[in-house]
């Protein structure tokens, strides 16, 4: 039961929660709860070393953090010695050996036992990213019979980890639902994993529009001083070297501007060197990592243009649906970016902003100059972007879509009272009743030990 005494509806499993880079996950959980779905939240790792964020203390206090690796191993050994370990878990531990991803088994064992203590009626787990947490949920399914789903985002599917036995293909095959955040990714995953195509759903990341609209004092599209803003980690796929080179073009063309890049990361020193090399110290400023209140304040009251020069990395990684573009749209700031993945689903070319091909800083500079020198166009793009953000990305809209996608999978605990708020879920409620009746007749939770042994007895390239 939850702290309020109300039952949970599903488990959420994160690699690290709550974190600076995943504010959309916090919004999603809070909005799910507002709409009547209460998750039991697990975090494999503790993010306490990250910058402080203004997340609700009541939410942070509810997160169940897993113990460290040695404690997890000791816990599993204790269960094995007392014969409380499920047969499938014993098989996994016996055959897993020294595989690199072996800790996912121990994490699943611990989560399984914790669910049995806190909410033994739970039948489904959901998580974000096709990575560590998703592989932990895959093992949880083997031990408990619980179904799982995950939201695929960007690099987790564009250049997934192939050095694990629980591959992306296996995660897709065994998930009851695969959620992804853009139409681009739906099409790509359907091509690559046709066996899973029927269970893939697109649900955009949601934005707390009330917070952002309030920051803009109800005046989307307002024009401030000639400042370019960009927000994100200082990593290759954000294309900050192209943005800085575009700023050099603007300087040479005598366009008045300053550029402010908010974020930290491994490329900070190389970007500072590039700024010095191009003699842009009085034009381009690295603002470091900042909390969301800082970002809202600066986008709402100081930004004239938002620019994100996304690129495809050498390993195929790239941004999919950068939340910061939605945030800029929500305060009426016109956007410039590149034609990658789901970005054209946010920046509608010539309607809410301008788009160029990647790695073309000269073209990128021309787009920025167009907006910096045309206040009327800025207002038009800003207002259109604001309306599109309301229509597509408001958290109440996106979370209702997620709720339906999860419930229609058949295992998320469903209260009939939810139909009062969302009568269109009636069909999903009937589907759940039918699925559970079929399970009762067929006995769907047969022991998966044989399947696990078959998987684990295949040659292992990850040992060592």
DSSP for 204-258 reads PPPB-HHHHHHHTTT-TT---SSEEEEES-SSGGG-HHHHHHHHHHHHHTT---E
Instruction: Give pLDDT, residue 222.
Output: 43
For the chain, the distance separating the N- and C-terminal CA atoms, rounded to the nearest angstrom, is: 42
- Residue ranges in the chain whose pLDDT is less than 50: 217-224, 441, 443-447, 460-464
Range 344-353 burial, b when 16+ CB lie within 10 A, else e: bbbbeeeebb
Cβ atoms 230, 307 nearer than 8 A: yes
Query: Could you tell me if 255 and 369 are in contact, meaning their C-beta atoms sit under 8 angstroms apart?
Result: yes
Q: What is the distance of C-alpha 137 from the center of its chain? A: 16
Question: What tokens appear for 24 in the block?
Answer: 């959309």
pLDDT tens digit string along 279-313?
999 999 999 999 888 998 899 889 999 999 999 99
Instruction: Name residues whose C-beta falls within 8 Å of residue 215's C-beta, 6 or more positions apart in sequence.
Output: 296, 297, 299, 300, 301, 331
**Closest of 299, 319, 325, 292 to residue 20, by C-alpha:** 292
Q: What is the fold of 209-393?
A: Rossmann fold (3.40.50)
User: Which ranges in the chain are annotated with CATH 3.40.50.2000?
Assistant: 10-206+395-456, 209-393
**pTM over cut 0.85:** no
> In this structure, which CATH number among 3.20.10.10, 3.30.300.10, 3.40.50.2000, 3.90.1150.10 belongs to the domain 10-206+395-456?
3.40.50.2000
What is residue 116's predicted lDDT score, i.e. its pLDDT?
Answer: 94
Sheet containing 147-152, strands listed edge to edge, beginning at the edge strand earlier in sequence:
64-65, 39-45, 10-16, 124-128, 147-152, 177-180, 200-202
* pLDDT for the residue 293: 83
């Amino acid at each position: 039961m939850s702290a309020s005494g109300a039952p949970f509806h599903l488990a959420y499993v994160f690699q690290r929660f709550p974190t600076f880079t995943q504010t959309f996950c916090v919004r999603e959980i809070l909005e799910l709860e507002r709409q009547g779905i209460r998750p039991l939240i697990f975090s494999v790792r503790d993010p306490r070393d990250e910058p402080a964020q203004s997340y609700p203390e009541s939410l942070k206090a509810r997160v169940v953090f897993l113990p460290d690796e040695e404690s997890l191993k000791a816990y599993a050994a204790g269960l094995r010695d007392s014969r409380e370990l499920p047969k499938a878990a014993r098989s996994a531990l016996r055959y897993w050996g020294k595989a690199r991803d072996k800790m996912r088994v121990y994490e699943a064992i611990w989560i399984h036992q914790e669910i049995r203590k806190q909410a033994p009626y739970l039948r489904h787990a959901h998580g974000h990213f096709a990575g560590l947490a998703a592989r932990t949920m895959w093992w949880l399914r083997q031990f408990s019979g619980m179904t799982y789903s995950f939201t695929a985002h960007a690099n987790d599917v564009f250049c997934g980890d192939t050095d694990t036995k629980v591959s992306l293909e296996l995660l897709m095959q065994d998930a009851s639902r695969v959620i992804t955040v853009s139409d681009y990714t739906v099409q790509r995953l359907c091509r690559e994993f046709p066996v899973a195509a029927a269970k893939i759903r697109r649900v955009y990341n949601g934005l707390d529009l009330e917070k952002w609209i309030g920051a803009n004092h109800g005046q989307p599209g307002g024009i401030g001083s000639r400042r370019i803003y960009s927000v994100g980690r200082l990593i290759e796929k954000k294309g900050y070297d192209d943005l800085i080179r575009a700023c050099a073009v603007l300087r040479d063309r005598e366009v008045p501007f300053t550029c402010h890049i908010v974020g930290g990361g491994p490329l900070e020193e190389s970007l500072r060197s590039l700024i010095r090399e191009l003699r842009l110290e009085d034009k381009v400023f690295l603002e470091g990592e900042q909390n969301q209140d800082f970002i809202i304040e600066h986008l709402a009251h100081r930004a004239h243009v938002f620019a994100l020069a996304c690129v495809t990395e050498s390993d195929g990684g790239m941004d999919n649906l950068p939340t910061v573009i939605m945030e800029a749209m929500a305060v009426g700031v016109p956007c410039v970016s590149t034609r990658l993945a789901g970005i054209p689903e946010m920046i509608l070319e010539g309607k809410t902003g301008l788009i160029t091909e990647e790695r073309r800083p000269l073209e990128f500079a021309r787009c920025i100059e167009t907006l910096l020198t045309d206040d009327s166009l800025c207002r038009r793009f800003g207002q259109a972007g604001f309306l599109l953000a309301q229509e597509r990305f408001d958290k109440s809209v996106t979370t209702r879509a997620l709720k339906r996608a999860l419930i229609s999978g058949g295992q998320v605990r469903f209260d009939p009272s939810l139909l009062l708020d969302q009568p269109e879920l009636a069909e999903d409620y009937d589907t759940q009743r039918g699925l559970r009746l079929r399970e009762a007749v067929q006995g769907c939770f047969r022991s998966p030990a044989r399947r696990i042994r078959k998987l684990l007895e295949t040659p292992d390239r990850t040992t060592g």
